[in-house]
Amino acid sequence: MKINVGIIGFGTVGTGTARILTENRDIIKEKTGLDIELLKVADLDIERDRGISLPSHILTTDAMGDVIGNPDIHVVVELIGGINPAKDFIVKAIQSGKHVVTANKALLATEGAEIFDEARNRGVILGYEASVAGGIPIIKVIREGLVANRILSIYGIINGTSNYILTRMLEEKMDFHDALREAQELGYAEADPTFDIEGIDTAHKLTLLASLSFGIPLSYDHIYTEGISRITAQDIEFAMELGYKIKLLAIAKAVDREVEIRVHPTMIPENYLISKVDGVLNAVYVVGDAVGETLYYGRGAGDMPTGSAVVSDIVDIARKITIGCNVSEDIQFMGKRTDIRVKPMGEVESKYYFRFTAIDRPGVLSKISGVLGRHQISIAAVIQKGRSIGGAVPLVLLTHKARESDVQKAIKEIDTLDVVDGRTMVIRVEGDED
Ligand code: HSE
């Protein structure tokens, strides 16, 4: 049987997907017995040279008419990104009975409930492998490879741009903005880089991972999200001295009948495997109750890695079409567990790194530790960096496990002390459980 595909969006990922579908059509057929043909590629601009030559009858500017309205097309691939008109195209495709593949994490995280409902009701399959961690087949891993498990926790480095920036800041002692510019030039950043550096893109992806893993509804609005824009090269250096790397982590943990879902810069022991994931590379560490610890590593962005994920969804759909199955079992599960509460951030417990800018004179530490003590925060280590009698110096402090709401109250109070200059840097610390 031949399965026909139409792509909407001939950008970076659209081009990679078209290249894989055409150049690897034979190998896919050899491996699966499925003949998948790219019938149409729609984009507003079909003139620009993308470095790939497709027969001119494939290209069209009419996505609605030539792709969604095309009776020969079985699978519509949405790769334009953003909310609108992507949502409109996806919903119309589903309503026309087409199966859909998308890489659109922002859309699914924020409006996915409606789209998944539509897919469930219409009995079509919706593939979204490419929306999380690009080329790493993490959706398939959780949906299929680890289906026998209760997922206990997930820790992900799933935004290449942030990881690239943090790596360059560490290795080259680069300024944050220069590193961001480099990442943008290399084509890793989102159209709006705020999504990358403020943790929003990571939270979009974590929304999907958490729902798929725990069956909870898509909970983007409940995810605590903090990005890397306040991290300084100094924090990265102090972290290294203390034996840690700073990574922007997506964290999802099942705790009793609750889940913690959060995105923030995190200090992790430097000897952990995930700490060694540098540059634009992504990694997802998943712990299941049966399998134990597992780790997945690869390219989280780019035309060919993301195209690889898109095509894997197309092949899965083609397989299902041939056996007459039109159910996305993962989408059936996502949202079922309305009994599981997402723990409010204030109730989360963690260890912390604080960097105060403190006046260098006797009695200052006791004032700060007095406030921490009153808020039940126990100190694990203190380092004063440098000496500036009567001037300001960085005072770095590590805590034992403390409650987030206590930490926020204590830091607010400390930041008003006359012995402290400027805003305290707070970074949560994971690993080496005490
Ligand atoms: N901006 C994303 C990243 C691209 O940097 O990882 C892939 O989602």
The answer to whether 103 and 310 are in contact (CB under 8 A) is yes
- pLDDT computed for residue 434 by the predictor: 58
pLDDT digits (tens, 9 = 90+) for 328-364: 889 999 999 999 999 999 999 999 999 999 998 899 9
- Per domain, the residue ranges of the chain are 2-135+303-332, 138-299, 349-429
Task: Please give the Cα distance from 207 to 252 (Å, whole number).
Answer: 9
Is 205 catalytic? The answer is: yes
- pLDDT computed for residue 329 by the predictor: 87
Measured in angstroms, how far is the CA atom of residue 137 from the centroid of ligand 1? 15
Task: Please give the Cα distance from 259 to 152 (Å, whole number).
Answer: 9
Question: Which stretch of DSSP H or E encloses residue 332?
Answer: helix 329-333
CATH class of segment(s) 138-299:
alpha beta
Residue 303 near ligand 1, beta carbon < 6 Å: no
Q: Which atom of ligand 1 is nearest to the CA of 195?
A: 1
- pLDDT computed for residue 408 by the predictor: 98
Nearest to 100 by CA among 405, 331, 286: 331
Which of the following is catalytic: 105, 205, 253, 351?
Answer: 205
Residue 298 near ligand 1, beta carbon < 6 Å: no
Nearest protein Cα to ligand 1, atom 7? 301
Nearest protein Cα to ligand 1, atom 4? 301
CATH class of segment(s) 2-135+303-332:
alpha beta
CATH number of the domain at 349-429, out of 3.40.50.300, 3.60.15.10, 3.10.180.10, 3.30.70.260?
3.30.70.260
Residue 330 near ligand 1, beta carbon < 6 Å: no
Measured in angstroms, how far is the CA atom of residue 7 from the centroid of ligand 1? 20
Ranges in the chain, pLDDT < 70: 433-434
- pLDDT computed for residue 244 by the predictor: 97
Residue 159 near ligand 1, beta carbon < 6 Å: yes
Substitution candidate for ligand 1 out of 107, 167, 182, 190 with most atoms within 8 A of CB: 190
Measured in angstroms, how far is the CA atom of residue 248 from the centroid of ligand 1? 13
pLDDT digits (tens, 9 = 90+) for 354-384: 999 999 889 999 999 999 999 999 999 998 8
**C-alpha 179: how far from chain center:** 19
